Chain A
Amino acid sequence: MKWGVVVTNFFYLARGLEVTAGIGLTVMLTGTILGFLVGFMRISRMWLLRTVSLMFVELFRDTPLILQIFFVFFGLPALGIRLNSLLAASLAMTFFAAANAAEIVRGAIQSIPHGQVEAARSLALTWWQTMSLVILPQALRRMVPPFMGLFTTLIKDTSLAAIIGVFELTRAGREVVERTLASFEIWITVAAIYFLICYPLSLLTQRLEQRLTAEAGH
């Protein structure tokens, strides 16, 4: 056992962690924005918007994220779109996050009883007023736990960026292993770092979920 290796390479791993956090936060933001857009398209009255958004969601939810990353990084240059590994991984993860976020948005909005839409309509509210004053205030609360679950998944999935050579926590760990051969110690440490970020998020998600179900029971 060479646990000293963990101490001497701590700052190297920390630099990787910085990038992991950067990708994670970026993708959370871009994925959420795009996800809301696609989610609203899914419940649109226009057939074309519904079909396009459905295809987007199925395509990115039913294929492995790693292949999406490969496709963006290795495949898109064929269309003249050349991205460096960091951008390619972030773009692929944004699409992946958006597809999952869209289903959360759609699910939450559709979980609000339809009678409320009808009530709003009979009060002569416009579509936008119905959404912003009646549906969304309730739906947004229901979206919080699944969105936090998605964010936890995204943080874990940033590790896939290492496969196309992005220097982040997993890549940093791999490089330290190659230099020191202390694979057992380093991989446990890297796993522990991810755990320390994801576990509090999971706990918070469970709390919020329990609170929402308790409220729904009244």
Chain B
Amino acid sequence: MTYQFDFSVIVRSLPILLRGAVLTMGLSLLAILLATVLGVVGAAGRLSRWRMFRFLAAAYVEVFRNTPLLIQIFFLFFGLPGIGIRLSAFGSGLLALCLYTGAYNVEVFRAGIEAVPRGLREAAASLGMTSFQSFRHVILPVAIRISLPALGNNFVALLKNSSLVSTIGVVELTFLANDLNAWTFRSFEIYGATALIYLCMVLLLVAVLRRVEGRLLVYIRRVA
């Protein structure tokens, strides 16, 4: 018996898949926001004057960059209850995504901060700014712009990685695709269509990032 292709199943599944796409987008945007904050905080830690902070930030980065995201998700969801910490599936999925991408963001921001011309820091200091003021108002705005292309790559990776939270039962695009596959047995059509939806979301995100880069980099050319 040969397989009969039935692409009408894609049309019928489309409303569900698109709802999944919206959920994936929402989850990813939330994680992007939190991972960016985490990246800035971590980078400040890695460049801190205190050894303790430097060590903690470096340990965080190395641990989360050198273990699989799937294991981190499993650890947060299945492992932590072992010591009495219970997170919902959504909570552990979101947290794992943030921690994983945050670790990569730390390195991007650190490189960005180190690439800020020294003169800017000295100028801020000579204007009597405290080190926090100089970081917040002078260094960071420039560093973020320098980091933007690499940061964008991390965001795209996060969007793709968000599919892994389906393994602990968070309802998003991949989870719904698995569901549809179980109902219809149309694996080729369903997974093919789902992959194309991810492709569209990634291309959309890349396009948005390009626009933002274009806007922000006008300013950097004047500074550097």
Residues of A near any B CB (own CB < 8 A) = 58-59, 62-68, 70-71, 74-80, 152, 156-157, 159-160, 162-163, 170, 173-174, 177, 182-188, 190-191, 194-195, 198-199, 202
Contacts and interface: CB of A to CB of B under 8 A. Distances in A.
B203 A62 contact: yes
Nearest to A74: B187
Interface in B67-124: 67-72, 74-75, 78-83
Contacts of A157: 68
Interface stretch (B131-139, B157-165, B207-215): B157-165
The A interface, classified by DSSP as helix, strand, loop or mixed, is helix
B62 interface: yes
Interface of B: 2-3, 5, 62-63, 65-72, 74-75, 78-83, 156, 160-161, 163-164, 166-167, 174, 177-178, 181, 187-188, 191-192, 194-195, 198-199, 202-203
A184 B161 contact: no
Contacts of B83: 184
Nearest to B196: A63
B3 A71 contact: no
Given A65-B160, A194-B67, A202 B62 contact: yes
The B interface, classified by DSSP as helix, strand, loop or mixed, is helix
Nearest to B205: A62
B75 A188 contact: yes
A61 to B, nearest CB: 8
B187 A77 contact: yes
A58 B199 contact: yes
Contacts of A76: 188
A37 to B, nearest CB: 22
A187 B195 contact: no
Contacts of A75: 187-188, 191-192
A198 B192 CA distance: 32
B114 to A, nearest CB: 12
A63 B70 contact: no
Given A75-B188, A77-B187, A170-B70, 14 more contacts: A59-B199, A62-B198, A64-B163, A64-B195, A67-B194, A76-B188, A156-B67, A163-B70, A184-B81, A187-B74, A191-B67, A191-B75, A195-B66, A198-B67
